[in-house]
Copies of this chain bind each other. A is one copy, B any other.
Amino acid sequence: MAMKALSKATIYQVAQLAGVSIATVSRAMRDSDLVTQQTRERVWAAARQLRFTPSRLGRSLAEGRHAANGIVFPDLVGPYYAEVILGYEAAAAGFGSSVLILATSGRDDAEAAVRELAGRVDGLTVMGQTVPDEVITSLAVPVVLLARDPVPGVDTVRARNAGTAKQLVEHLLGHGHRRFTFVGDPDVAPDVRGRWDGVRQALSKAEPPHLVRTQGFDLEAGERAPLQPGRAVVCANDEIALGVLLAAEKAGLRVPEDLAVTGWDDLLAARFAGLTTVRQPMRELGATAARWLNRRITEDTEHPAAPRRRVLPTRLVVRRSCGIHSPEVHR
């Protein structure tokens, strides 16, 4: 006897095998109480035999919803985005929504890709400067912005940048540092812009900080940054800072004696490099975005709630690289 092909069975085949109508199969599969136990079992048996899994396509089309939402991010490099996405996925799963991901980095058609994605989901979370504002506002599905400058009428979740950056600079001032360098590009990511703003604000009455613009935000960017002894180097993120650390070591500069260095994100590596940094609630960022998006998706379109804004707190994590601490060294 020939092997039964396990290609996708449809509701019609199940109905035929079970000797019922497709309506009954539909009901039985979704545990409607409009079918008798006996019928339900007949249908289930048929479904199992045919390896029937209802097509989401048919279902979604009929229901008018995808039961899925998407998240757009620049890249997945470094643990930051991964953690955010994980928090997002977990929250989305909580209300029965699948998650589609889209990385825009290294894609020349980011906008088209986002539009295409928008057609597959009930809502979209957009991280950072992945696409222009016009795209955001012209999408036909609800959007939540994450780590991005607010757009009128759109919900936005961010992590505190400027405030904690000021705190960081004040801590460095407390160590006696007076000359500051900021490494990163404020024009590329809103998060970085916020950190840079905070640094400048904190130094508004002191010597203004240097800005070293980097090409990217990775180790290499930090390694390429010019080093000047006696400065406090505030980096846009941990990877750059770690690159600076590497370059300093190569150049024979001691940290923090000759050079103070700080990062942002509190990567695992920061702990082992003794890097002073700032911790962000990454999963919480993702989870919040997912929850808000779900609210938008399910809300009454006639009476939409006012746009929400939230800035989640971040926390300074002091380690060795920012200066000598009197009694103990933190880890």
Given contacts A53-B115, A57-B60, A268-B268, 19 further A-B contacts (CB under 8 A): A6-B140, A51-B138, A53-B140, A55-B61, A57-B57, A57-B120, A58-B61, A76-B85, A85-B101, A89-B103, A90-B103, A90-B106, A98-B117, A99-B100, A100-B101, A219-B268, A239-B268, A245-B272, A267-B268
A117, closest chain B residue (CB)? B98
Among B89, B103, B269, the residue within 8 A (CB) of A268 is B269
By a beta-carbon cutoff of 8 Å, the part of chain A in contact with chain B is 6-9, 51, 53-58, 60-61, 66, 68, 75-79, 81-83, 85-86, 89-90, 93, 98-103, 106-107, 113, 115-120, 138, 140-141, 219, 239, 242, 245-246, 267-269, 271-273, 301, 331
Of A8, A76, A79, A83, most buried by chain B (CB within 10 Å of CB) is: A76
Of A54, A56, A66, A77, most buried by chain B (CB within 10 Å of CB) is: A56
Chain copies in complex: 2
**Chain B residues with Cβ under 8 A from A239's Cβ?**
268
Judge whether B120 and A68 touch: CB under 8 Å.
yes
Cα–Cα, bound, A229→B287 (Å)? 43
Judge whether B103 and A86 touch: CB under 8 Å.
yes
Judge whether B100 and A98 touch: CB under 8 Å.
yes
A245, closest chain B residue (CB)? B272
Closest-CB distance, A247 to chain B (whole angstroms): 12
Closest-CB distance, A64 to chain B (whole angstroms): 9
**Chain B residues with Cβ under 8 A from A54's Cβ?**
119
Cα–Cα, bound, A75→B283 (Å)? 13
Cα–Cα, bound, A76→B75 (Å)? 15
Known: A90-B106, A273-B272, A301-B7. A99 touches B98 (CB 8 A): no
A81, closest chain B residue (CB)? B82
Known: A86-B75, A113-B93. A100 touches B100 (CB 8 A): yes
Among B51, B78, B120, B140, the residue within 8 A (CB) of A56 is B120
A-B contact pairs, 9 of them (CB 8 A): A6-B138, A7-B301, A57-B57, A76-B89, A79-B79, A81-B82, A219-B268, A242-B268, A267-B269
Judge whether A101 and B103 touch: CB under 8 Å.
no
**Chain B residues with Cβ under 8 A from A89's Cβ?**
76, 101-103
Per CB-CB distance, the 3 closest pairs between chain A and chain B, nearest first, are A82-B82, A269-B269, A76-B86
Cα–Cα, bound, A53→B106 (Å)? 24
A48, closest chain B residue (CB)? B138
Judge whether A55 and B119 touch: CB under 8 Å.
yes
Known: A90-B106, A267-B269. A119 touches B61 (CB 8 A): no
Closest-CB distance, A153 to chain B (whole angstroms): 11
Judge whether A101 and B102 touch: CB under 8 Å.
no
Closest-CB distance, A80 to chain B (whole angstroms): 9
